[in-house]
């Protein structure tokens, strides 16, 4: 098992793309699993009412349970809803429940409505017994207040881009939103990482999309590309990452490589 360099401070990523089905949750879960295996303590915050990240990490999210919803709306301390995952002893998850769907509306009338996740997360990370090295916030497919809370809580944005039709559509809107957040709500936020997902090397289209993304974002786009793979899509129904579901599969290998790149790039860019 490979050991990766660990950041001195927690790196907080929001995994965002207002499109659904582009691989946000899959990326959050599998990068988190890979980094935990490589020695990091990792927290996944599920901010999508569907709770897919919670499911994939084997963490219950029934509607009668407390979740990130109570943290956002009722000021519940985050520590109360951090659960161990079944995936790895160093991997933890804050589940989402379906109540989160209402939070988009309920947050509107609350004080500091954009800062609520940031405050809860900063307080938690400052007081936790053993420090975390990575936090991944899995966003819903929208640019509403939940996603804004994620942008304000994070320092780095990771955008998964599906190598398919219309891959770049909507990207400029996402980028201008990140700019607005950076100007007005979170100076520290930067688009650090783009990950190409669901790549099918047999199609010209996938190659064109990958090339176009690299031209626009040469610094941010990871070398590693995640291929389309049945094993990746099967893993969540077993409450597992693809890495524990089928360690030697191409999907597992590529997410482990992407995680290693993420960790090394963090080292290179530290301090700027």
* Residue ranges that bind Mg ion, judged by CB under 5 A: 24-25, 48, 52
Nearest approach in angstroms of CB 24 to Mg ion is 5
Alpha-carbon span 112 to 241, nearest angstrom: 35
Q: State the binding partner of 23 from ligand ADP, Mg ion, none, CB within 5 to 8 A by kind.
A: ligand ADP
Note whether 256 binds ligand ADP by CB under 6 A: no
From 3, 8, 9, 21, residue interacting with ligand ADP (rule: CB under 6 A): 21
100: part of which helix (H) or strand (E)? helix 100-106
Nearest approach in angstroms of CB 179 to ligand ADP is 22
Alpha-carbon span 242 to 248, nearest angstrom: 9
Note whether 37 binds ligand ADP by CB under 6 A: no
Extract the tokens encoding 202.
């047999």
Q: State the binding partner of 102 from ligand ADP, Mg ion, none, CB within 5 to 8 A by kind.
A: none
Nearest approach in angstroms of CB 25 to ligand ADP is 3
Note whether 77 binds ligand ADP by CB under 6 A: no
Note whether 197 binds ligand ADP by CB under 6 A: yes
Chain Cα centroid distance, residue 81: 18
Note whether 137 binds ligand ADP by CB under 6 A: no
From 233, 247, 267, 270, residue interacting with ligand ADP (rule: CB under 6 A): 233
Alpha-carbon span 59 to 157, nearest angstrom: 24
Note whether 25 binds ligand ADP by CB under 6 A: yes
Alpha-carbon span 76 to 80, nearest angstrom: 7
Note whether 252 binds ligand ADP by CB under 6 A: no
Q: State the binding partner of 254 from ligand ADP, Mg ion, none, CB within 5 to 8 A by kind.
A: none
> Given its phi and psi angles, is residue 161 left (phi above 0), alpha (psi -120 to 50 degrees) or beta?
beta
Contacting residues for 263 by C-beta, under 8 A, at least 6 apart: 4, 5, 6, 7, 35, 38, 40
């Amino acid at each position: 098992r490979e050991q990766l360099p660990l950041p001195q401070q927690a790196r907080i990523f929001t995994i965002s793309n207002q499109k659904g089905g582009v691989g946000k949750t899959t990326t959050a879960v599998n990068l988190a699993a890979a980094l935990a295996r490589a020695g990091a303590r990792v927290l996944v915050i599920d901010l999508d009412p569907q709770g897919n990240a919670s499911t994939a990490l084997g963490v219950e999210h029934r509607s009668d349970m407390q979740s990130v919803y109570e943290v956002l709306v009722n000021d519940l301390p985050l520590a109360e809803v951090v659960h161990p995952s079944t995936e790895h002893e160093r991997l933890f998850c804050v589940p989402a429940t379906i109540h989160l769907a209402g939070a988009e509306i309920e947050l509107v009338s609350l004080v500091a409505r954009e800062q609520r996740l940031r405050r809860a997360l900063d307080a938690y990370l400052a007081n936790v017994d053993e420090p975390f090295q990575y936090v991944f916030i899995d966003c819903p497919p929208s640019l509403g207040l939940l996603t804004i809370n994620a942008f304000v809580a994070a320092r780095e944005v990771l955008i998964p881009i599906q190598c398919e039709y219309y891959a770049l559509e909507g990207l400029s809107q996402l980028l201008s939103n990140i700019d607005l957040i950076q100007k007005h709500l979170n100076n520290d936020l930067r688009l650090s990482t783009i990950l190409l997902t669901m790549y099918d090397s047999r199609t010209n289209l996938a190659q064109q999309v990958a090339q176009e993304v690299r031209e626009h974002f040469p610094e941010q786009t990871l070398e590693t590309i995640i291929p389309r793979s049945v094993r990746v899509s099967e893993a969540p129904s077993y409450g597992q990452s693809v890495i524990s579901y089928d360690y030697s599969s191409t999907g597992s290998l590529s997410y482990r490589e992407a995680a290693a790149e993420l960790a090394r790039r963090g080292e290179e860019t530290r301090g700027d």
